[in-house]
Structures are given as structure tokens and as C-alpha cells.
Structure 1
């Protein structure tokens, strides 16, 4: 007994020195269980499988899952839902294994469970953190009602290349806003107590830098300086971890030449030693095995690489299950490191309350009472309306009158299959409200006629790729010419044309990168022909990414960007078109004039030969021959049915010392004819510092409601903590000097004031 106690003490010291130890106290119940476990049983806890037949989130399906559970070779499952089904699997684990260790049950609940909210890029455009947290809380309530206790969300990757399809899953390009969204989602999923059966473990993904994949091509390599990592790409991950996220998922890309799933600097030196993360790390879908294709060795070699790097759980690939025992025998990994990984997985189960009650999440009465309720749908409707961004308004067309004679036209105007958006595997498209039905619901006295007008695309080969998860871009049996003729007949009989166009859901998302991010030509032709009728046109634009709409922005029409709005799509679109809600969304990712400007983002660095202030071309300056440098639509941009005027921007003091704070404020006045909400944004510029600064950085935002004619003063508190950055030595510091600021409704505005930071 004394020798065993001594061994445990020595192991604890080893863990502490190696950086594997957690700062928290060890959980006695977990430690007692680890004492009883064999090496094989510990390895079994590191194995995450999917039985197939449920939600498709990858190309590989696990085999003989039932037998492996009974043999103690499975730590968790995903791709299965429903209390009855999960109870069967949990009973195998609890009743048929030697130690009766319950399973984690995971799922990709990206923007809602059955109640599907707007895609995350759309939700971020609301700039409403309370609302975003509420959507995550509802998602957790619904998913846990179906037996799921672990969520593979939030995705917090910074993305500045709209060719990358997975930009749809995140909060856009900015680390300050992205960090706020990450915190809100973790708090929404996990709540205050993980033993509450309406909460679930959040998984921060994809760690790390996945949004910077070269050429915007999914799964591609990432290469950037650590200064750029720490200042621009890593903050949202850290914000989520600081908010208490229980799990982290490694990304597919490599970093500094080593894939993230086997990258010790990333998973141990940074995540655990520097940031103090105390949860467990799971690989992305077969990303462990995929390190073979990266050129890192055979399955045994990459499995050992991953475990030694700090990976705790292998998703689907079974590299840990099939090779780790051999690697222990050959001295390539230690049993101590396997014990540490198993401890982290077991601690997560303990925190969920599964050791006390393995069936805590399996109340068969909850699905009926907690899933897709009217109250949840109402939040989805509200969230969708607040995510919409008014990109252009032509004359006084909007808001529409509720007795108008409307020609509703477009391939997305009466199409349930494309309302939920990408990565909505737990939602049912057939329960969504299409735009046609929504308009009729909100304006029953309007005269609405409908015509499809065009296919989403006429390219059969492209349509086949888009339709991998079902009909999303169906090519009509009618010819494009007949569809267009029907549309023009509908248009000519209407007073106002509402054209619903854009991307199908699977034109963005995972493995959905595009080199051409314009509206497909089939729909562009429709828009051109509708304008020739001379009728007022409102373009309702759906997409999972920023699009290149330079042609459309020059047209005499209004444009409302609605992303993919979710289960209440039609009702929310109608609420905004008819003025029941005044659009307030603001872009969280820059929209380029052309793909040639990509990557494009507002917080760029200046050059030694910056673009002339006039915007006119000058030789030997940093500009294009064939285009302005400026984006088509900037970060933070979004119009309203009313108008907002900013005045009296000022700082409460001209100086800021290390222990003080200043208040930067401005008065915002609603000078238009409608009540409305405005996202008030604060931007700063550090004029001189030890590493080159961005031209401007978002440092504060508030969403306010102003009645017609009302004014409010909006304040932002700033301390030196808000001015810190990672210097060339990766030290988190502030530096004295002069800062410029402005407060405005978008990132495009001249600086209006200054203050000085003193030593």
C-alpha cells in the first residue's frame, strides 16, 4: 500500500512538471475509478464513435459499435439522438462493462437543435450578445431533451476569406466581436451548472486558425506569424476557454508545419500551460488518421504523436484504440499520459452528473415539452429578423405596405429546403416557414403572386455537388426560358417585385469553398430582366457568406441580406419587409468588390506606401490598377429604415494612466421617420507602437433603441487593459502613446478625437 501511495505521489509530480496536471483539485471519485482501470479500459475512454444511421457529419461510420461499448472500448458516441436510443447504448456501457462507466453523447448543434436559428454568421450580425446567448441556451435545452450532453460548438474561427465555406459557421473577421460571441455561446450552452440536465458541455472549435486556410479552400494549410495568431486569430478561442468551455476540438489544418491534432505547442504549451485549460481535447472527424496524408507517419506514429501532444479523445478514427497499447509496450507513449487523458474524459462525465445518474439526460417526457415549442420558434423569429442587414435602399419602397400587390419571384421564394442553412443536421427543413407563407401570414390583405423565375443554378454538375444532403438546388423540368417568362408575367401584374435569390444552403459550409462568390448567373439574368419591367424591386438575398454583388449594388433596387434565416425564415423576412421590425443588423465580415481583393478585412496594417487619401490611383502606392482598395461593403455596415446622426464624440480626459480609465462618448440621434435600433461602434488606432498597428480596431459596441427624434449619449469605458496587445516577444502589454478614436455606425469614418496613454 505504501508503495502504491508513493507511486501516486510521484505520478502527480510528473504530471505537474510535464504540464499535464490541472490546477483544479483532482476528483476523488475519478481517481478511485482510475485506480481500478486497466490500460485497455483507459484507452477505451479515449475512443469516440458514431454508429451511423443518424446525422451525417463525416464520410466514415464506425463498425461494431455495440460490441465495442460492451467491451469497454468506447468513451462516447455522437450521431445518435432520442432518449430511447441513447438509453440502450448507455445501458450497454453501465450494465455490460466491468466498471459501468457511462458514455458521453455528442452532437453538432451549431445554430439550434430542432428549433433552427440563423446561421452563426447571421446571428453575429445582430450584435446582440444577450440574444445569441439565449439561442444557445434554447439549443442546449432542446438537445439535452433528446439525450445529448456534449455539443461540438461554438465555432469561433476568425475568417477573412469568404471563399471559405465555413465562414458561415462563425462570427466573421474581428477578434473583439468574435470573443464576445464566443463567451455568449459558451454561457448559453453550459449555463451555471453542468449537472442541470438542460445544459451541455461546449466544445470550442476548431483549434486553431482553421479560418485562415490558404486560398479559402477547406482543410488547407495555414501559415502565419505568432504575432498575427495571438493578436488577430487566437482571442476568441481564449475568450471561450476563459468563459469555462469544457472541451476543445482540434482543427484539420497544420500550424508551423505540424497538424493541429498532433501539435504539442498548440495543445499543451499554449492551451494548457499558458492558458490554463482544464477540460479535454477531442480531434475533429478522423483528423488523427488524416495526419498520415499530411506526411506525419503511419497510424501508430500519428496516434502516438497526437497523445503526446495533448489530444485526449480520438473522433471515429480509432487510432488510439488500435495502436496505443502497442505504443506503450514499445515505449513510444507512457501509460501515465494515457491515464491523464482518461482522467480528463472521466472528469467531464463527472461534471455532467453522469456518475451519479447515467440516465440524467434521458427523460422521455422532455422531447415533447422542450423541443420546437412555440416560445422557441418565437425566439428564432426574433433572432432572424435581428440578423438581417439592409445593404441598399432605393427610394421609399421599404417598408412595404401590407395591402400591396406583390410579385414574389425567385428560386428561394417558396423553398423550404434552403431556409435552415448549412450545418443544421438536427433540424427539419420541412418544418420551416418559406418566404411565400411568411408574407401571407404577416400581410393577409396583400395580393401576392408567386413564380420561381429561375433555377438556383443551371449547372447540373454544380447542382449535383450542392445536393449531397438532399434537394437544395433542383433544376426544374421547365426550361430556363419558360421559368423566366412566368416570372415576367407575374412581375407585370404586380406593383412591387420581391425577388428572393442567392445561395442554396450547401453552397456554403464544410467542403463548400467557392472561387466565384457572385450570385449564380441563372439568377443574375432573372434580376436584370425584372428590372426591365420598370417596377420597384426589392432583392431578398440569401447566402452563407459575403458575396460579390458589385453589379447588383449599382442597380436601382433595394437589397436585404437575410443569410439563411432558420426555421422561422418566412415570418422573419415578412416582419422586416412590412416594417413590423426595422432592420438593425450590421455586417461582421467585409464584402469585397471582387475575389481579387481577398483576403479583405477592415483592421488591415498600413504600408510604407499607403493608398492615397483621395482614393485615386498613384504609381508606386499600394493600390490596384483595376479597382479601388476599398471594399464594396465594410465591416460594421448596415442601413435602417430610419437615419441616425452621430455628434459630440469626445473623451472624458485627454490622458489615461495605467490604473485609471476614461470614458469615450457620443450622442446618437434618430433623425428619420421610424423607431429603430442602431449598433454604436467604437474604434481606436494606436498611432505608434513597437509592432505595426492596424489602421483601426473595434474596441466597443452597444446596440440601442431610439424612438423617432430621440437622442441618447452612448458611453464606452476604456482602460489600459483594452489597449493591450502581444508584442514581438508575445508578451501581453500596453505601451504609452497617442490613440485616435471615432464612434460611428460602421468601420468607415474619420477619426474625431485623441487621448494619450501615460507611463
Structure 2
């Protein structure tokens, strides 16, 4: 059975079990939940649907990660809780204040309904792991499950029940800053990492004190914003919506996620936070989702700026009737729902249904039985930045690094190498974590200088010079860097993006190194010394000049707490590079949006043949600088042409696709063997390649192994014109290879019933 199919069946079985359990829970709790709803005033119902900022716990953290907030003092929040006008708080942490707030809710309010505490726990809590995009480069969903589990252990120890993660938006335009949070451009990778992160956050049982409710976001197609500009509009065909952007959400719900977040964007003119089609028809009626939908930060209020709602009151009406159950930060529901119900603009039954969903999830989390779960002072004191968590951060960092280039086997370096470590990130700890790590203590991270120095035989052989700041020069910095470079055997260049250049609201028109960093790289290249470029970023970058031409290039993303140690492990060969690109690196920024699984055209460019009047740009070929799936090892990996077990695939049968993979090098290597297909003729034009499976294999020097995949009709399906999955008989090409653009194809034929 194909690996992807097995996972889907397991996920489907889990979803059925979850729905069955959920049905029992609703049946068992009908009397309690319906009794509560029956007692509630409309204002108390609106309160359960209201989520506001947690200014009583770590207010400086809350202010740092949100653009604006309406609550201005904690005493007012306590009064709102006591009056039943608030159902949850977000982006605060800490047990003592959390217990106090929960005590107000469960002992001093009229109906004693517990609060839910949420936060942006995106890629770690106190211990920070690689950003989502970096971790996807590991091609190890199990690793993502383990890091999400570790994050949940820390977050729940500090009084949280709910995380606004994972971000499962497919990102095919690297100008979009939020590409950093997701799993990249591919649907299969996006689905598998969505599932893994949900399982990791939530653990075995939502009632466990260390279970963190997952919230896949942003429903939906936020990654398709026009021109890669954050918060922009989305124009998208239904086929692409169903085939590319919805599957990771579906997989996350199959894994048991019981909340989701609506997006800021519109889709074809309808804002996602007012889309009944998305939030009711697809999510609930088609998929059977039993949890609740929370708006993104004031995305309900923003329906007015979209020009879709007349005013705040109308925005509250539209959002609730579309299926947004909980309003985050805007306060629209507590302000307007009572009046909307009173004048008949919103039926009470619609409000009751949203309240029912919120109470169901609170019960599923065990909050009615133990409102003080995850509020344990002993765990708070002992479960943060443990040696186990730091070791996992280091492992995840190593596995996320992608060796893009290694001419002449410059890497790994000898531990006796005399090194000049140059660049704005050389000894930096403020920019290790990247965007959305608000609860981290940046001072506890391991810098590149510290990690590299610790692995040199003689740490004195390391000279560290900044050279320039992230986006500005330093007086005398270039001269200092040149002096260090001339005295060194190898230059390590720590360049790329700072925390503030990736993530939300950080779209870029040119995804290049900042000019002062590019000038630094050019000056270092002029010394003639061998250079290793270590790219820190939250996206693919378009490299040019000396940065592109360096003998070795590493994509090191934002790796988190153990950055320096993880990078040093790869540089000196304590571990071999095993990461692969989850996104395509373009030659030029102007190629964006750029992704490997694009459809073919009637005039495709064929490398090596005349390019006039073909699908290309004047300035560059229509190819990637570094393709999706690309990544080198310290071995020498070679593929034989794949073979298929049968020339035809029966309608309800399977075939095996195999290829011999050999490590002809002198070092052990871990290769990500990838399976791609192409439907040669179809009723809708199909992508030139689609990833359908991958395996990580470890090969000793000189070792060969036959790697096999099983394909069934299910892997050949696509979304047809009627929005129903369809497979069509005919010829398919298949590759077993090391990236989305390499390898030889074999051919098989799917035959009809």
C-alpha cells in the first residue's frame, strides 16, 4: 500500500474515531451544555464567543506580537470575566495569574464556565525549534511531531490550553513573508506536516494536562495572496483551491484538530472571515468538522475595510452567520450580538450553535472537569528549556539545514581550519529564532560564533567580525572583515534576513540579500579565499554575484535556540546534511510566484534548444537556481533509471516503482529519495511533476539500495471540472530521483475499469 494512502487511511480512521467520541461527548453532555445555553443571557452567550488579549500575564509579550489591542487594563478584563462577557484570553502565560483568572471565571461568574487560554506557540515556546519552513526541509514529519510535542509540554506548563498553529497555508510566492511559518510549496509535504504537527501539539488525549489544542490556519488560501503581499486579495480557481490549498486543512482535521482560524484575505471577492461557503459548506457540511472557528486578529472587524460590511455591526452579523464562532480581539460579538439578536438580524439559533461548539471543545479539553489543568506551578518551574528539549532543538536544526552547493567538497571543514566568521549574524543571538517566537528568551540561544568556536580544536583560530549590520553599513566594518578574511583559510559568511524581515507583514518586492550584505560578500570574494555562504532566512532567496558563486552554500533558515551548535555539527561533519528544499530558489525575484509543480504550456522552454517564442523571461531561463527537493550530502549519490513492476496499472490495482540508489562517495550519506509523476494527457492540463512520496535512506560509502514505492489509482487523481476527484486512463511518467528536476522517467499506463 502506498505510504501516503496508508497515512490517509490511518488519519481517516482517527477522524472517524474522533467524530464517534465527539458524538458521544455531545450526547453525554447535551444536558449540561444545553442546560448552560438555556440559562445564558444573550450577553453571556456573546461572551463565550469573545476572545481578548491577556494583559494580566506577560503584557509586554502580548504587545510585542500584536499590532494593536483594545483592552488596556487587567482589572477591566477581570470584571468582564466575572460578568460572563469573556470566554478566553490569548498571548499571555504564567500559572499564578492564570489560576487567578480561572478562579474568577469558575467561582465568581454566574454560570462558572471556564476560560480557554490560547497563544501563538508557532515553532516552540521557551525552547525554540526551526521555523516551519526550515523544519519542512527535514522531510521528516515525525520530527515535526516531536518538536510540536515538546512545545506543547512547555506551553501547557505555563498555563496554556490552545495554540494558534500549525500554519498550513501552501506558499508558492516567496515574496510573502508568512511563507516562513508553513511547510512550503508542495501539497503532499504540506499535508503530512499539518497532520504531524496537530498530532504533536494535541498528544494522545485532549484531556491530558499537556495536550495543546491545535488550530490549523488560515482558512483558506491565504498563501495565494496577489503579488505575495500580505493581507492582499486572492483570485483563485475552484480546482486550485480544492487541489492545492484545502488538502492540508483537511489532513489536519483528519488528525483531530478541533479549532481553526479564518484568514485575513478574500477569495474571489468574498472575505474568508465572511465566507459561508468555506466555513460552513466545506468545513462543516462536506468535512464534518465538529470544532469551532476563531477569527484572525480583528479579521471580522476588517470586513468593513474590505468593503464587504457596512459597519462594525454588519461585520459581526456577516462573520457569525458565515461560521466564525469566536471573535478575536475586536470585541464585535460582545458589543453587537445582543442587539443583532434583539432586532432579528441574527437568529438566536445561530448564536446558540456557535456557543455549543465552543463549549463542546472546552469540554473535550477537560476544562469543565478540571478548569485548572495546565496551571501547575511545579511543572512551570521544571519543564522549560530542559536538556532534552535543547537536544531536540539541535537535532531539528541539523536536519533542517540544506547543503545547496559544495564545489570541490569544501565542506566538511577540518576542526583545525583557520576561520574568519563574517557577517551581521556571526555572533548574533537576537535573530536566531525568526518570526513568531514571542515567549523565547533570546539571551539563551547559541550563536554561530559560540557553536563554531566550541568545535574547533583551537578556538583561537576563529576570528569573528560583523562587517555590516543587517540593512546598513558599519564604520570601519568592511576593513575589519577584509583583515580577518586575509588571515584566514576559509571565510564563513553569516548573511541573510533578520527576524523582522520575515513573517507577518514582511512581504518583500526583491527577495535578495540587503545591499550592504551583498557588498560585504563581494568584498570577501575578492580576497580569493574559499567561501561558505550560510543563509539565514524565512523564505527562498534569489542569490546573485559572489553569493551565488561561492564554493559552498547552506540554507540555514531560522533554526532557533541551538542554532550555533546545529550549524557547527554540519560544518565540521559531526552530522551529514540531510535537508532538502521545501521551496524553489529562483534566479530572480521577478520569477515569483515560482514553484516546481506548475502546469505545462503550449510553448515550453527546453534547455539546450532555441528559446525564442518560448515560455521564459528575457533575462533568465524559466528554471530554478535550486529546485524543490534539492539538497546535497557529503556522499556522492547516484540514481539508476526507475523501473515499474508492470507496464500497466489496473484500475483497482497497484504497481511498484523502484530505482537503485548508490552512494559512490567516501562518506556516509542520508538521501531523500523522491517519487514524482506526470499525467501526460488529461481533461485538464496537469503539473509537469507532482511529488507522490519520499523516503529517507542512509547509505554507507559504496552502498547501493533498491528503493521502492507503491502507486495506486488514488495517487493519480486530480480535481476535475465538477470539483470531484477523478483519475483518467492513460500514460503517466514516473521518476525516482533527488529533486523535482532530476532523473530519468519511466512510463506506465493506467487502464480503465
Does TM-score exceed 0.5, indicating one fold? yes
How far apart are 1:331 and its partner, in Å? 1.1
Counterpart in 1 of 2:453?
Answer: 440
How far apart are 1:60 and its partner, in Å? 2.5
Residues 552 and 232 (structure 1 numbering): CA distance in 2 closer, same or farther, change over 3 Å?
A: farther
SS in 1 for 2:702: coil
Q: Give the whole-Å Cα distance in 2 for the aligned partners of 1:751 and 1:577.
A: 32
Is 1:107 paired with 2:119?
A: yes
Counterpart in 1 of 2:195?
Answer: 183
Counterpart in 2 of 1:472?
Answer: none
Q: Give the whole-Å Cα distance in 2 for the aligned partners of 1:165 and 1:640.
A: 29
Is 1:449 paired with 2:452?
A: no
Counterpart in 1 of 2:52?
Answer: 49
Is 1:559 paired with 2:536?
A: no
The answer on whether the counterparts of 1:392 and 1:553 sit within 8 Å (CA) in structure 2 is no
Q: Give the whole-Å Cα distance in 2 for the aligned partners of 1:245 and 1:442.
A: 42
Q: Give the whole-Å Cα distance in 2 for the aligned partners of 1:555 and 1:587.
A: 19
Match of 2:305 among 293, 315, 340: 293
Unaligned runs of 5+ in 2: 1-21
Unaligned runs of 5+ in 1: 1-21, 459-474
Residues 575 and 680 (structure 1 numbering): CA distance in 2 closer, same or farther, change over 3 Å?
A: same
How far apart are 1:555 and its partner, in Å? 2.1
Counterpart in 1 of 2:318?
Answer: 305
Is 1:592 paired with 2:595?
A: no
Counterpart in 1 of 2:344?
Answer: 331
The answer on whether the counterparts of 1:51 and 1:62 sit within 8 Å (CA) in structure 2 is no
Is 1:736 paired with 2:729?
A: yes
How far apart are 1:145 and its partner, in Å? 0.6
Counterpart in 1 of 2:524?
Answer: 530
SS in 2 for 1:294: coil
Counterpart in 2 of 1:719?
Answer: 712
The answer on whether the counterparts of 1:246 and 1:348 sit within 8 Å (CA) in structure 2 is yes
How far apart are 1:236 and its partner, in Å? 0.8
How far apart are 1:147 and its partner, in Å? 0.6
Match of 1:643 among 633, 636, 640: 636
Is 1:578 paired with 2:572?
A: yes
Structure-to-structure mapping, 1:123-142, within 5 angstroms: 123-142=135-154
SS in 1 for 2:44: helix
Structure-to-structure mapping, 1:84-163, within 5 angstroms: 84-163=96-175
Q: Give the whole-Å Cα distance in 2 for the aligned partners of 1:126 and 1:616.
A: 38
Structure-to-structure mapping, 1:248-259, within 5 angstroms: 248-259=260-271
Q: Give the whole-Å Cα distance in 2 for the aligned partners of 1:552 and 1:175.
A: 33
Q: Give the whole-Å Cα distance in 2 for the aligned partners of 1:62 and 1:706.
A: 57
Is 1:192 paired with 2:204?
A: yes
The answer on whether the counterparts of 1:94 and 1:101 sit within 8 Å (CA) in structure 2 is yes
Residues 357 and 556 (structure 1 numbering): CA distance in 2 closer, same or farther, change over 3 Å?
A: closer
Q: Give the whole-Å Cα distance in 1 for the aligned partners of 2:225 and 2:550.
A: 37
Q: Give the whole-Å Cα distance in 2 for the aligned partners of 1:605 and 1:450.
A: 47
Structure-to-structure mapping, 1:16-55, within 5 angstroms: 25-26=26-27, 27-28=29-30, 29-52=32-55, 53=59, 54-55=61-62
Structure-to-structure mapping, 1:537-548, within 5 angstroms: 537-548=531-542
Counterpart in 1 of 2:4?
Answer: none
Is 1:607 paired with 2:614?
A: no
**Number of equivalences:** 717
The answer on whether the counterparts of 1:666 and 1:715 sit within 8 Å (CA) in structure 2 is yes
Q: Give the whole-Å Cα distance in 1 for the aligned partners of 2:243 and 2:466.
A: 47
Is 1:382 paired with 2:391?
A: no
SS in 2 for 1:506: helix
Q: Give the whole-Å Cα distance in 1 for the aligned partners of 2:606 and 2:555.
A: 32
SS in 2 for 1:181: helix
Counterpart in 1 of 2:222?
Answer: 210
Structure-to-structure mapping, 1:475-494, within 5 angstroms: 478-479=474-475, 482-494=476-488
Q: Give the whole-Å Cα distance in 2 for the aligned partners of 1:83 and 1:589.
A: 40
Match of 1:74 among 83, 86, 89: 86
Deviations 1:215-257 (A, max 9, x none): 1111001111101111122111111111111111000000121
Is 1:61 paired with 2:42?
A: no
The answer on whether the counterparts of 2:262 and 2:273 sit within 8 Å (CA) in structure 1 is yes
Residues 170 and 648 (structure 1 numbering): CA distance in 2 closer, same or farther, change over 3 Å?
A: same
The answer on whether the counterparts of 1:408 and 1:449 sit within 8 Å (CA) in structure 2 is yes
Q: Give the whole-Å Cα distance in 2 for the aligned partners of 1:436 and 1:188.
A: 32
The answer on whether the counterparts of 1:51 and 1:61 sit within 8 Å (CA) in structure 2 is no
SS in 2 for 1:168: helix
Q: Give the whole-Å Cα distance in 1 for the aligned partners of 2:654 and 2:546.
A: 45
Q: Give the whole-Å Cα distance in 2 for the aligned partners of 1:368 and 1:705.
A: 40
Bigger mean CA deviation after superposition, 40-49 or 446-455: 446-455
| TM-score normalised by L of structure 1 | 0.93
Residues 556 and 48 (structure 1 numbering): CA distance in 2 closer, same or farther, change over 3 Å?
A: closer
The answer on whether the counterparts of 2:522 and 2:547 sit within 8 Å (CA) in structure 1 is no
SS in 2 for 1:713: strand
The answer on whether the counterparts of 2:95 and 2:158 sit within 8 Å (CA) in structure 1 is yes
Q: Give the whole-Å Cα distance in 2 for the aligned partners of 1:541 and 1:94.
A: 50
Deviations 1:290-314 (A, max 9, x none): 1110012111111111111111000
Q: Give the whole-Å Cα distance in 1 for the aligned partners of 2:712 and 2:23.
A: 29
Match of 1:400 among 388, 404, 413: 413
Counterpart in 2 of 1:467?
Answer: none
Q: Give the whole-Å Cα distance in 1 for the aligned partners of 2:370 and 2:54.
A: 23
SS in 1 for 2:710: strand
Q: Give the whole-Å Cα distance in 1 for the aligned partners of 2:729 and 2:39.
A: 57
Q: Give the whole-Å Cα distance in 2 for the aligned partners of 1:542 and 1:442.
A: 21
The answer on whether the counterparts of 1:612 and 1:618 sit within 8 Å (CA) in structure 2 is no
Match of 2:281 among 269, 286, 296: 269
Bigger mean CA deviation after superposition, 715-724 or 281-290: 715-724
Match of 1:703 among 696, 701, 704: 696
Q: Give the whole-Å Cα distance in 1 for the aligned partners of 2:555 and 2:186.
A: 20
SS in 2 for 1:377: helix
Match of 1:356 among 356, 369, 373: 369
Q: Give the whole-Å Cα distance in 2 for the aligned partners of 1:444 and 1:572.
A: 17
Counterpart in 2 of 1:655?
Answer: 648
SS in 1 for 2:568: helix
Q: Give the whole-Å Cα distance in 1 for the aligned partners of 2:711 and 2:458.
A: 51
| TM-score normalised by L of structure 2 | 0.93
SS in 2 for 1:306: helix
SS in 2 for 1:189: helix
Q: Give the whole-Å Cα distance in 1 for the aligned partners of 2:522 and 2:247.
A: 43
Q: Give the whole-Å Cα distance in 2 for the aligned partners of 1:59 and 1:626.
A: 39
How far apart are 1:614 and its partner, in Å? 2.9
Is 1:622 paired with 2:615?
A: yes
Counterpart in 1 of 2:15?
Answer: none
The answer on whether the counterparts of 1:615 and 1:628 sit within 8 Å (CA) in structure 2 is no
SS in 2 for 1:365: helix
SS in 1 for 2:382: helix
Deviations 1:603-659 (A, max 9, x none): 11111222235354222x222222111111111111112111111511112222232
The answer on whether the counterparts of 2:737 and 2:743 sit within 8 Å (CA) in structure 1 is no
SS in 1 for 2:214: strand
